[in-house]
Amino acid sequence: MSTLRKVPTLSLGSYTKGSEADRKKFIEQLFTGIKDYGFIVLKDHDVDADLLKQSYEVLKKFYALPDATKRSYISAQGGGQRGYTAFGTENAKGSEVKDLKEFWHVGREVPDDHKFAKYYPKNIWPEELSEFRPVFEKLFSQLETAGIQMMEALTAPLEVEKTYFKNMVQEGNSILRLLHYPPIPEGVDPRCIRAAAHEDINFITILPAATQSGLQLKDRDGTWLDIESDFGTLIVDAGDMLARITNEVIPSTTHRVINPQDGTNQSRYSMPFFMHPHPESLLSCLPSCRGAGAKYPDITGHEFLMQRLREIGLIK
């Protein structure tokens, strides 16, 4: 298989506001990029650049709080689905050592009488920062809108109705992860890196460009490629759920965050949005991707998520 050597940069505006020809070209390039390469970079989207700047400022303030304050926001419900997860808690699937990161999860909230209320814990908000909640609720909403637009663009090449993915994700179990990779501590196990090689669990991940480099993807020939992107762009990759329902026509992309290489041992902040279907969605092989037969049995979105959270050490 031939691979592209540079992650393609696409204009989401050409899909949302362009001519029929522009839309067709975007759909082709998105499908080719995410299928043959695994990642694309997105520009001309509606995620507000000032909101991204404000978000990173709020993150820096939060992670500067005392460790005991941050730990007071660890969810009693477990699993790290909301609130704070402490440094050295999560590991990549199959990894013997923990990642060098701490993070906060913001998820979807639904009314108590909603059919998905039993799956979705309430969000936790730090009392010390009044701006935290409005900033990240807004960012969640804007990233979700961009995700729905991209998932809609994938429906034509995958030969499903235009609303197929929207119906699965618009009340989905999506998560905004607010990450801090602190400076690498002295004496740390040499096998530990900021985020060991892994694939994401969900349909697609939308990652606003981070504050420092370090993200690498594993190209289809096995080489690691640095992903550099300009501030304000969104990096998009395919996760395990999309690979599963497309029978790996769109493979899940292996990626990692390496430790600083240039002598500048600084904090790195990152805000990936993990787009999930709703918990009762059936992850079933799409007919257009079946080929010689489905590689995976049907499973619900919730069952698959729980399976993977056990594998990465977030639930027992």
- What's the Cα-to-Cα distance from 139 to each of 49, 53, 160, rounded to whole Å? 10, 11, 29
Per-residue confidence band for 5, with pLDDT thresholds at 50, 70 and 90: low
Pick from 4, 87, 79: which is nearest to 253 by CA? 4
Least confident of 53-57, 183-187, 286-290, 303-307: 183-187
Query: Across residues 128-146, what is the average pLDDT?
Result: 97
Which tens digits make up the pLDDT trace of 295-306? 999 999 999 998
25 has a pLDDT exceeding 50: yes
What is the crossing angle of helices 132-153 and 20-36, to 10°?
A: 100
Given a cut of 50, whether residue 2 has pLDDT beyond it is: no
Q: Find the helix packing angle between 132-153 and 49-63, rounded to 10°.
A: 130
In the predicted model, is pLDDT for residue 4 greater than 60?
Answer: no
Tell me what the mean pLDDT of segment 249-270 comes to. 86
Q: What is the pTM of this model?
A: 0.93
pLDDT attached to residue 106: 97
- pLDDT one-digit tens code per residue, 148-184: 999 999 999 999 999 999 999 999 999 999 999 988 8
What number of CA atoms fall less than 13 Å from residue 219's CA on the CB side? 13
The letter for the amino acid at 124 is I
CA dihedral 74, 77, 83, 86 (to 10 degrees): 40
pLDDT at 39: 85
Q: What is the pLDDT of residues 267-280, one digit of tens each?
A: 889 999 999 999 99
Taking phi over 0 as left and psi of -120 to 50 as alpha, with beta for the rest, 187 belongs to left
User: Strand pairing partners for 74?
Assistant: 83
Using pLDDT thresholds of 50, 70 and 90, give the confidence band for residue 109.
very high
Torsion of CA 160, 163, 164, 168, to 10 degrees: 170
Where does the pLDDT of residue 132 fall: very low under 50, low under 70, confident under 90, or very high at 90 and above?
A: very high
Give the integer Cα–Cα distance in Å for 166 and 171: 9
Share of the chain above pLDDT 90, in %: 65
At 78 the pLDDT is 64
Residue 161 burial (CB < 10 Å; 0-12/13-18/19+)? exposed
- Res 3 pLDDT > 60: no
The CA dihedral of 191, 192, 194, 196, to the nearest 10 degrees, is 60
pLDDT of residue 265 exceeding 50: yes
Identify the structural domains of the chain with CATH numbers, from first to last. 9-311 (2.60.120.330)
